[in-house]
Amino acid sequence: MRKPLHPLTLWIAAILLAFGVVALDSAYIALAIVGAVAIFVYIRRDGSPWNMSFALSLRIGATILAIRTVVGIVIGVPIPGRTLFTIPILHLPTWMSGIRIGGAVTIERLSSSLHEGVIIAAMIALFGAATSLTSPHRLLRVTPSFIYEIGITLVIATSLFPQLATSVRRIRTAQKLRGTEKVHLRSIALPLLEESLARSLQLAASMDARGYGTSRKRSRYRPQQWILIDSAFIAVTTLITLAMVAQ
């Protein structure tokens, strides 16, 4: 069985790689890093609901890439070069003279839009990978005591979407097993609301039973330890980042 990495290891690595991607500013290297990270996430996945965060980050990144490309084609600063096609120009006020809607779309203008979109999507994918392999619950256990209350609030907030996705999948599966061929949103909304309210009451009861808020002293059950593989992982990531910055 693989030893889990320290909760901070992947976040530190994601921050370092994101810094290197921005400093190098190469779309090809950014795509290569995202590919390597995708393989790493595939190998280290454990079947938890958080593993879906990386796929979601890839979808968000692809959406941002498409939006940035369309905006770069339709709206932007004219960039001279080889013209691919021309869009009718919409004239703007004189105080917006540096911006143009429409006009000639050059290869340089299109490549610039794609380049910026790839860099943004790569950064989203890096932090999505850190989220998918490190649940907020494990991350909360290593937070300092003076931000523990803020941390637990963020954990509850970030736990909402994976829990909702799991609940929707379970409700749809149950309705299909009952013979419902077409599952509509209205038939999912009410059971989802009931389950969410029940989960909220259960969470409140469990926090009250554990005495949350009555003492500032924290207990540590099975504390997270920083082991050799964490240091090696950060060292390799640091070398990669330094190599990208030095280019």
pLDDT digits over 9-67, tens only?
A: 888 899 999 999 998 889 999 999 999 999 999 888 877 767 778 888 899 999 999 99
The pLDDT score that the predictor gives to residue 103 is: 76
pLDDT bin (cut points 50, 70, 90) of residue 210 is low
SS3 101: strand
Asked if 49 and 86 sit in the same domain, the reply is: yes
β-pair partners for 90? 101
Place of tokens 């609030």: 153
The pLDDT score that the predictor gives to residue 33 is: 94
Asked if 193 and 110 sit in the same domain, the reply is: no
Span 134-190, pLDDT tens digits: 876 677 667 666 666 666 666 666 666 667 777 777 888 887 787 776 767 677 787
Cα(173)–Cα(148) distance, rounded to whole angstroms? 37
* Percent of all residues in the chain with a pLDDT value above 90, rounded to a whole number: 19
The total of other beta-carbon atoms located within 10 Å of residue 232's CB is 11
Asked if 158 and 105 sit in the same domain, the reply is: no
* CA dist 43 → 15, 40, 48, 51 (Å): 21, 5, 13, 11
Per-chain mean pLDDT for the chain: 79
Is 0.75 surpassed by the pTM of this model? no
* Percent of all residues in the chain with a pLDDT value above 70, rounded to a whole number: 78
Asked if 154 and 131 sit in the same domain, the reply is: no
Asked if 47 and 158 sit in the same domain, the reply is: no
Report the Cα 245 to chain-centroid distance in Å: 23
Number of domains in the chain: 2
Asked if 115 and 129 sit in the same domain, the reply is: yes
Write the CB contacts of 83 (distance below 8 Å, at least 6 apart in sequence).
104, 105, 106
Asked if 3 and 101 sit in the same domain, the reply is: yes
Asked if 136 and 191 sit in the same domain, the reply is: no
Asked if 101 and 182 sit in the same domain, the reply is: no
* CA dist 100 → 79, 90, 97, 202 (Å): 11, 7, 7, 55
Asked if 14 and 130 count as a contact pair (C-beta separation under 8 A), the reply is: yes
Q: Which amino acid is at 121?
A: A
Place of tokens 């990270």: 37
The pLDDT score that the predictor gives to residue 86 is: 80
Asked if 89 and 201 sit in the same domain, the reply is: no
Asked if 117 and 156 sit in the same domain, the reply is: no
Asked if 23 and 245 count as a contact pair (C-beta separation under 8 A), the reply is: yes
Across the chain, how many H-helices and E-strands are there?
Answer: 9, 3
Residue 110: pLDDT above 70? yes
Asked if 130 and 246 sit in the same domain, the reply is: yes
The total of other beta-carbon atoms located within 10 Å of residue 85's CB is 9
Query: Which of 82-86, 132-136, 150-154, 227-231 shows the lowest per-residue confidence on average (mean pLDDT)?
Result: 150-154
Place of tokens 């009555």: 214
DSSP for residue 150: H
User: Residue 159: which domain range?
Assistant: 143-217
Q: What is the mean pLDDT of residues 241-246?
A: 89
